[in-house]
Structure 1
């Protein structure tokens, strides 16, 4: 397996299939596609035949759905019903008992909440501006940048990535914040190797990890925090890597360090080709946001817009 180095040809960057590549789910053949809500709930809550019969009796008596009857009898929760519905419609959703990722991932843990809806609205706007047209986004990724630490870049990048993966497209979220990386914590994944390992020639694409709860979502963590993050990002290798990843995934979202910590974010945005700026309500200064947007005016990055984070 070829390792990625500055002088490596593009086709050697990620030679061979990526994790999960070429394994598109066959929705029609998926057994969950044929299962009823009752079957899913009975398996989830391990209901006995007697309990199922009680639910069916109440269902017939009151003319309600199986899930409603199960909740009324205390044999299932509303969250169980939402999980069962999500299974039927192939919508990634982590039930309360199976949540291993951070509570910050509202699009996965609370996909029907108002906060998750905000990210779907953001997804829609970005699809119309930079992510929707296949030809337009070919070879292009989206950097998530902000003026200061604590603005919510990682929160926004992670939830945006989940919302894109929920469309069914292969989505990769890259942690390019080699100063204070957090994506591996948000997704509860290993951070032994990652982007820094690839850029230093010590690892290949196998450091990309699949998110168990969302089959079409992948994460490239930082790995070891390097002493020279900006120099690694400014090498031609990073630009080659981003183009190759953008060609192999439907969507690529990249988390970055705060602008206050250095010019890493601007470098990443230029390599990605598009960026969205995140500010924090009642915290970010308008002048800082304007300065950050202005700094990208002469770069190859198209600024898709500014998001004000209220989280």
Structure 2
């Protein structure tokens, strides 16, 4: 796991001279602290430099200051030790325990919620990032064909995507890798179609989901708000597993109950509910 020392990584990142490195080492020996702490105390490195070095050492992808600017919504990249990021990782642990049991058939996961503004895009994007940070290949599919936003969050083109595939209009590669997050891929929604529900009800969508599950370790789908139609329930049925997201002090209990009831009688495994407090 440890390919290079923290000291080497900080030295290269800050372009420290031999004299500066020796100054840090002397302080480290004198005060019995780590190299990174000594460098920060002496003003030769920042806490962000130490965090970046740790991320490299443990192969943990974080937002890079010299790379493309990550969306502030991606807290698992830009604020990896915030309360929000920790909550996302806790949800990830619950998802992996429930979804990837040794005796279970592999399934995709749909994130569904009653209304717009519940935080579905935010949660789904960060869940996908956190799954990719475990290793393996993770695919985030934007199956919200009414008001998609994942392409904005990840800064990828949306000229072609899921709607293009389902309508037979895809002429090029539509699954895109996410720069700075190894193993993470995004299938954007593509152009907003006039018939979103009909597209995802087609057998082609179910076949596509099964194919994607066979090619990726994790497949997570964002969905349209249930208030705008049956899209979320249909997507969840094609995936086989779902998480219900609700926003504190915003969603009505009856709307949440209606959404859960819409899955009754379907083969969907409801993994649980997540309350968005942010």
Select 2:261's aligned residue among 284, 294, 299. 294
For 1:101-180, what aligned pairs fall within 5 Å after superposition?
A: 101-130=70-99, 132-138=100-106, 140-180=107-147
Segment drifting more, 141-150 vs 284-293:
284-293
Mapped contact 1:96–1:109 kept (Cα < 8 A): no
For 1:187-266, what aligned pairs fall within 5 Å after superposition?
A: 187-203=154-170, 206-266=173-233
For 1:70-81, what aligned pairs fall within 5 Å after superposition?
A: 70-81=39-50
Partner of 1:41: 10
- Name the CA distance, whole Å, in 2 between partners of 1:294 and 1:135: 27
Mapped contact 1:99–1:109 kept (Cα < 8 A): no
Partner of 1:8: none
Q: Deviations over 1:176-234 (max 9, x none)?
A: 00111111111111112111111111226721111111111111001111111111111
- Name the CA distance, whole Å, in 1 between partners of 2:138 and 2:145: 21
Mapped contact 2:64–2:180 kept (Cα < 8 A): no
- Name the CA distance, whole Å, in 1 between partners of 2:234 and 2:202: 10
**SS of structure 2 residue aligned to 1:306:** strand
- Name the CA distance, whole Å, in 1 between partners of 2:108 and 2:143: 12
Q: CA deviation at 1:97?
A: 4.6
Partner of 2:36: 67
Distance 1:309 1:121, change over 3 A: same
- Name the CA distance, whole Å, in 1 between partners of 2:105 and 2:38: 47
Partner of 1:280: 247
- Name the CA distance, whole Å, in 2 between partners of 1:254 and 1:175: 6
Q: Deviations over 1:130-155 (max 9, x none)?
A: 2x2255242x1000000000001111
Partner of 2:62: 93
Mapped contact 1:100–1:188 kept (Cα < 8 A): no
Q: Deviations over 1:217-270 (max 9, x none)?
A: 111001111111111111111110000001111110000000011111111000
Q: CA deviation at 1:96?
A: 4.2
- Name the CA distance, whole Å, in 2 between partners of 1:87 and 1:232: 42
Task: Indicate the RMSD between aligned Cα atoms, in angstroms.
Answer: 1.5
Q: CA deviation at 1:50?
A: 2.5
Q: CA deviation at 1:34?
A: 2.2
Q: What are the ranges of 5 or more consecutive residues in structure 1 without an aligned counterpart?
A: 1-26, 28-32
Q: What are the ranges of 5 or more consecutive residues in structure 2 without an aligned counterpart?
A: none
